[in-house]
Amino acid sequence: MRQPAVSDEQIIAALLANHSIGKAAEAVGIAPRTFYKRMGTPAFKAAYSAARADLVRQAVADLNGQMAIAIATLIEIMTDDTAPAGARVQAARLLMDNAARFSDRLAEADRMTGDLLQDPYRF
């Protein structure tokens, strides 16, 4: 009897949820060889890359959503006169270092956006 068809979306979901191709293949009920064969197609590669990019974007969005809480926590420690001096200095250092990195990345993103608007075929 023939195995039921497994969609690329099911395979991609299994890959993203499992840490090995063997476990992912088992999760969707197909042989690893079939799994590898499907993974080799250009359409699958494109869909998998898009799904991974979406997963990373979601993780970044989740982290960004918690950034305000993290910053508030660091400010609270930094301004707490009862906190050990080392903890206050460390909180201040983290705030300053990350603010500088964020500013650098924002400037780079602005530069790239400007370059893209001037020459959309450059990238």
109 pLDDT above the threshold of 70:
yes
Q: Model confidence over 83-100: pLDDT tens digits?
A: 999 999 999 999 999 888
Which pLDDT belongs to residue 94?
93
For residue 70, being part of any structural domain is answered with no
Are 52 and 20 members of one domain?
A: yes
Q: Model confidence over 35-87: pLDDT tens digits?
A: 889 888 999 989 988 998 888 888 888 888 898 899 999 999 999 999 999 99
The model's pTM is: 0.57
Which pLDDT belongs to residue 100?
82
Count of CB atoms within 10 A of residue 114's CB?
10
Mean pLDDT of all residues in 20-36: 90
Which pLDDT belongs to residue 120?
47
Which pLDDT belongs to residue 1?
45
Helix (H, G, I), strand (E, B) or coil at 114: helix
Task: Round to whole Å and give the CA distance between 84 and 93.
Answer: 14
For residue 74, being part of any structural domain is answered with no
Are 53 and 97 members of one domain?
A: no
For residue 37, being part of any structural domain is answered with yes
Are 3 and 61 members of one domain?
A: yes
Task: Round to whole Å and give the CA distance between 89 and 101.
Answer: 18
Are 3 and 45 members of one domain?
A: yes
How many structural domains are present in the chain? 2
29: containing domain: 1-65
3 pLDDT above the threshold of 80:
no
What type of residue sits at position 68?
Answer: A
Task: Round to whole Å and give the CA distance between 73 and 68.
Answer: 9
- How far CA 67 is from CA of 71, 77, 99, in Å, comes to 6, 15, 12
118 pLDDT above the threshold of 90:
no
Are 59 and 95 members of one domain?
A: no
Mean pLDDT of all residues in 9-22: 90
